[in-house]
Amino acid sequence: MTQTALLLCATHNDLGLIRALKKLGYYIIATGTKIDPLGHNWVDEWILADYSDKEKILSIAKEKNIDVICQCCNDFGIYTASYVAEKIGLPGYDPYETILTLHNKDKFKAFAKEYDIVTPEALYFTSEEEAMRVIPQMKLPIIVKPVDASAGNGIGKVEDAEDIEGAVRHAFENSRASRIVAEPYITGKQYGFCTFLLNKKVVAVASNNEYSFENPYRVEVDTWPADKFEECKDTLISQIEKMAEILNLNDGIFHLQYIYADGKPWIIEVMRRVLGNMYSVLSNPLNGFDWDYWETRAKCGLDCSGFPVNMEQKGFYAYKTVLAQENGIIETIKVPDEYRNFIFDEYWVKKTGDEIINCLNEPIGFLFMMFRNRAEMEDVLITNYRCDLVTMKG
């Protein structure tokens, strides 16, 4: 008898999960407030429901008598999936409180301090008044963040005292939990470090440089593998395995972001979910296996003992997020000729005639590229960065 999987979202970032669920033979019910055209074609049933509403999703899970629940590419998706799994006894997920500890910045900072995880020490606040009493006493520059937002939403760097109030207000406005953190701003290069845990041990790594141009807090270009991988891998793997042991983590993806400064990696974010910007389109060929398939097996509670253990990263890969320079109606989208020799795939979220409301956070498309070496990759995408792929009407 075919089993039923509840997938919490079906946008472009979740297509790999849909393919994996199909490969595993599940009947797929997807939720969300929007759905990618491909996602709509591939799932068996779609229910209009906000996946961040834990009780609503729990009600759907019970009504549909689901067998497994599959998170999506969003922190609120992993919150809900873990919550529902815990409530009705589904496999594959860490306890709900563990997920909150890892994904809520204030809870993670407290955990990191207690167990000596290398991360900038932060102060936490539950009201603007409290924040405004304490933050002016901090040494600048600092960075202020909501505890529960992603994709750079609500983040602000403060270099001058007169900017503190605006940064605090902006962070609170973007926090559903009405909590923020403030921590020292570390100057350095930012990286991603995606691992797969099997029996609490790291058995695969995809590492990448992260570049932000138009929006300083939203990653726009990733390049694989990271140029500081050898310097950082032992420290980061040991830190991840330490957290896995302390928290008794289940199999599956454990991703972190870090800044390399003062000769060491400083962990700034951790997460237990698939990644945005269609990350696996490039991590799959880099490592030689399907990350989404194995993450889906893990979250469905299936045996992962056959995981193709592989710590190697082969090749040079990158994606570029295509963004508009301003809000309005898209008039043209043109990929430069100098990109064409390197593109092996592309995916378009928007098209000509579509409206852009928030140009700093609305991807128009993604270009996936392969290069012969790191120097070529950095020359094309970083040294000769292009921001003129999109023109707007009027």
Distance CA(267)–CA(252), nearest Å, equals 19
Nearest-angstrom CA–CA distance, 175 and 145: 9
| Percent of the chain surpassing pLDDT 70 | 100
DSSP letters for 85-132: HHHHT-SS---HHHHHHHHSHHHHHHHHHHHT--S---EEESSHHHHH
Q: Is 203 exposed, middle or buried (0-12, 13-18, 19+ CB in 10 A)?
A: middle
Judged against a pLDDT cut of 90, whether residue 149 lies above it is answered with no
Report how far residue 263's alpha carbon sits from residue 232's, in angstroms, rounded to the nearest whole number: 9
Residue 201 has pLDDT above 90, yes or no: yes
Check whether residue 193 and residue 248 sit in a common domain.
Answer: yes
Least confident interval from 32-46, 99-113, 334-348: 32-46
Q: Are 140 and 159 in contact (CB under 8 A)?
A: yes
Per-residue confidence band for 51, with pLDDT thresholds at 50, 70 and 90: very high
Binned at pLDDT 50, 70 and 90, residue 173 comes out as very high
Quick one: average pLDDT of 275-304?
A: 97
Indicate whether 139 belongs to any domain: yes
Q: Is residue 198 part of a domain?
A: yes
What confidence category does residue 152 fall into, taking pLDDT thresholds of 50, 70 and 90? Answer: confident
Instruction: Out of 265, 286, 314, pick the residue that ends a domain.
Output: 314
Q: What is the dihedral of CA 96, 101, 103, 109, to 10 degrees?
A: 180
The verdict on 367 and 292 lying in the same domain is no
- For residues 369 and 302, state if they share a domain: no
End-of-domain residue from the set 146, 167, 184: 184
What burial class does residue 87 get, using C-beta atoms within 10 Å of its C-beta: 0-12 exposed, 13-18 middle, 19+ buried?
A: middle
Arithmetic mean of pLDDT, 23-44: 90
Q: 308 and 328 share a domain? A: no
Residue 389 has pLDDT above 80, yes or no: yes
- Residue 355 within a domain: yes
Residues 14, 82: one domain? yes
User: Looking at the structure, do residues 263 and 344 belong to the same domain, yes or no?
Assistant: no
Domain hosting 143: range is: 121-184
**What is the rounded CA–CA span in Å between residue 284 and residue 65?**
33
Mean pLDDT of 211-220: 91
Q: Are residues 56 and 164 in the same domain?
A: no
Q: What percent of the chain is modeled with pLDDT above 90?
A: 93
CA Rg value for the chain? 21
Given a cut of 90, is residue 310 above it in pLDDT?
Answer: no
DSSP 298-324: HHTT---TT---B----SEEEEEEE--
Choose the final residue of a domain: 184, 209, 225: 184
User: Any idea of the CA torsion for 258, 260, 264, 266, to the nearest 10 degrees?
Assistant: -30
Nearest to 180 by CA among 166, 170, 190: 170
Amino acid code (one letter) for 264: K
Of residues 217 and 77, more confidently modeled? 77
| pLDDT tens digits, one per residue of 206-215 | 999 999 998 8
Distance in angstroms (rounded) separating the CA atoms of residues 298 and 201: 14
Q: What is the pLDDT of residues 322-348, one digit of tens each?
A: 999 999 999 999 999 999 999 999 999
Mean pLDDT score of the chain: 95
Whether 116 maps to a domain, the answer reads: no
Q: Are residue 321 and residue 283 in the same domain, yes or no? A: no
308's CB contacts (< 8 A; 6+ apart) are: 204, 288, 289
pLDDT over threshold 90, residue 153: no
pLDDT band at 284 (very low <50, low <70, confident <90, very high): very high
When pLDDT is averaged across residues 66-95 and rounded to a whole number, the result is 97
Domain annotation covers residue 100: no
> Which token pair is 75?
């922190």
Q: Is residue 97 part of a domain?
A: no
Could you tell me how far CA 331 lies from the centroid of its own chain? 30
What the block records as the tokens of 122 is 């932060």
CATH of the domain at 126: 3.30.1490.20
Q: Does residue 265 share a domain with residue 227?
A: yes
Residue 109 is assigned to a structural domain of this protein: no
Q: Are residues 128 and 21 in the same domain?
A: no
Burial of 312 (0-12, 13-18, 19+ CB in 10 A): exposed
pLDDT band at 367 (very low <50, low <70, confident <90, very high): very high
User: Per-residue confidence at 102, pLDDT binned at 50, 70, 90?
Assistant: very high
Number of domains the chain contains: 4
* 387 and 353 part of one domain: yes
CATH number of the domain encompassing residue 244: 3.30.470.20
Q: In the predicted model, is pLDDT for residue 269 greater than 80?
A: yes
204 and 304 inside one domain? yes
Looking at residue 150, its pLDDT comes to: 78
In the predicted model, is pLDDT for residue 35 greater than 80? no
Identify whether 228 is part of a domain: yes
Residue-level pLDDT at 37: 77
